[in-house]
Structure 1
């Protein structure tokens, strides 16, 4: 028995005062209405109506049940209306993840502007420098700097960033500017990840060139590594967004740009493209506008 449908049928009978009129109002057949009422009474273990050939009236138990049934149906209608309204107007909770530094520099400010525009949306922002499983960790949307590998997710590209090599102008003046990746072999370098591969990857003529610089200084976070490079401690390899402010200030210079690997996509990813809540659709559209034409 579909209890909710049986409850709707019971209320319709009570309000119409007739099994036939109730069937008409529900767009159902008279036998179906009779069966539904009988099943509900059997489930509850009470009679809900006094029935004669001429008259149908509620029992005492039926009057009590009618009030409760109406409350349940009204609550269900209110829930449906609220959800339909939310489906058209962005509202409710969004959980978003992004890489730590990119999230700090770009995603966080974009989310702040988004929430000022949509004041009924609540956001939780999780910044991790690891690949996050959206489904397992119950996250709505991710910002990812890498090609999408999980085919169960949907990705929309926001732009691209480059993997670059940088050093301070003073360091280059003292040690010279490398002309080829092999010039970095044994050169002092700063690492922003202790667990990063020892080789740095470059591209030349469609082939990959690997070079192993000297690990002079290592951090487990990128921000102090960038600062160390700007202070003249050696070469560093970073994503372009991480160093562009330093380049603009003249504190870092990019080298070996002709040998950079292919740019990486920056994507907004989410588990499904079907029946997305309005808040999710609005956030995706917002990020596409915020990062339109992103090329770093």
Structure 2
């Protein structure tokens, strides 16, 4: 068995979650893909994939092994590129993930700049307000907001974001500006029920308050919209109102009572073994995000 080819096949099956699609993409027959995976499992002595009539999923051992396969295959590809003098010109596909609104506002412009710089590259984005399994989703680089669990991945801090309470100037003219967190009980509040939201608002000095919201919005954009319209107050991450702050459509209150900011990291799993395409994107992303005054 060609071990390198079997690893390529396994990595592609893990990415596509389909034997048939892998066969099509790699110009092979479906039985040949099945035989390669079976031979690899026999060699390793562990089940790598669970196959049902509807899907193909990685086992726990398969999830660990596919990460190693991708690193080894990337090393081989980079060695070949280096021998051909192609280190300066990454080629292939780069997959990135980030929180939805942050991705649209701050990561997408970096991705398009990267693609303009390296025309042999293509990109794939996964902007979601939920944790994404980098290995299972085949992600090369992630941008994460919040404190990170120990994963063994390479993480580079690029900035921070604050949780802020805000409203429109017209609202404060009519209802007054809260001077302390306790004053919020006398104000109308709209909250987002997104992944960042919580009915318990925390403040500096470990102060906590359970908010009885007058309006619950299923998107951050809707909560911000009600605040900009002067309907009430909301609490969001400060980068999300950057344009509205600059325009003067919204203002932050109770800044002296804010809890410590949340860190922003650029994360990737390969460490020093990262291929040229990942290193090039990470270098660009770190530079651009650190330059962004809204994130520092």
TM-score (norm: length of structure 1):
0.69
Runs (4 or more) in structure 1 with deviation over 6 Å come to 1-4, 77-80
Q: Are 2:201 and 1:200 aligned?
A: yes
Stretches of structure 1 lacking an aligned partner (at least 5 in a row)? 5-76
Q: Deviations over 1:2-47 (max 9, x none)?
A: 999xxxxxxxxxxxxxxxxxxxxxxxxxxxxxxxxxxxxxxxxxxx
Match 1:267 to one of 265, 268, 276:
265
When Rg is computed on C-alpha atoms for both structures, the one with the higher figure is: 1
How far the C-alpha of 1:120 sits from its partner, in A, is: 1.1
Whole-Å Cα distance in 2 between the matches of residues 111 and 209 of structure 1?
Answer: 39
Stretches of structure 2 lacking an aligned partner (at least 5 in a row)? 5-75
Alignment of 1:231-270 (within 5 A): 231-270=229-268
The residue aligned with 1:277 is: 275
The residue aligned with 1:147 is: 147
The residue aligned with 1:81 is: 80
Range 194-203 or range 160-169, more displaced: 194-203
> Would you say the 8 A contact 2:129–2:194 is kept in 1?
no
User: Could you say what secondary structure the match of 2:243 adopts?
Assistant: helix
How far the C-alpha of 1:81 sits from its partner, in A, is: 3.3
Alignment of 1:208-219 (within 5 A): 208-219=206-217
Whole-Å Cα distance in 2 between the matches of residues 167 and 215 of structure 1?
Answer: 14
Whole-Å Cα distance in 1 between the matches of residues 103 and 290 of structure 2?
Answer: 17
Q: Deviations over 1:225-257 (max 9, x none)?
A: 111110012111111110121111111010001
The residue aligned with 1:28 is: none
The residue aligned with 2:131 is: 131
Cα 1:78–1:274 change in 2 (3 A) is closer
How far the C-alpha of 1:295 sits from its partner, in A, is: 4.7
User: Could you say what secondary structure the match of 1:188 adopts?
Assistant: coil
The residue aligned with 2:107 is: 107
Whole-Å Cα distance in 2 between the matches of residues 202 and 164 of structure 1?
Answer: 10
Alignment of 1:18-57 (within 5 A): none
TM-score (norm: length of structure 2):
0.69
Whole-Å Cα distance in 2 between the matches of residues 278 and 138 of structure 1?
Answer: 17
Cα 1:94–1:2 change in 2 (3 A) is closer
Whole-Å Cα distance in 2 between the matches of residues 159 and 177 of structure 1?
Answer: 29
The residue aligned with 1:230 is: 228
Q: Deviations over 1:115-159 (max 9, x none)?
A: 101111111001000111212222111011111113222210111
Cα 1:80–1:294 change in 2 (3 A) is closer
The residue aligned with 1:92 is: 92
How many residues are aligned here? Answer: 221
> Would you say the 8 A contact 1:147–1:264 is kept in 2?
yes
> What root-mean-square deviation, in Å, do the aligned CA atoms of Structure 1 and Structure 2 show?
2.6
Whole-Å Cα distance in 1 between the matches of residues 80 and 180 of structure 2?
Answer: 64
The residue aligned with 2:46 is: none
How far the C-alpha of 1:294 sits from its partner, in A, is: 4.0
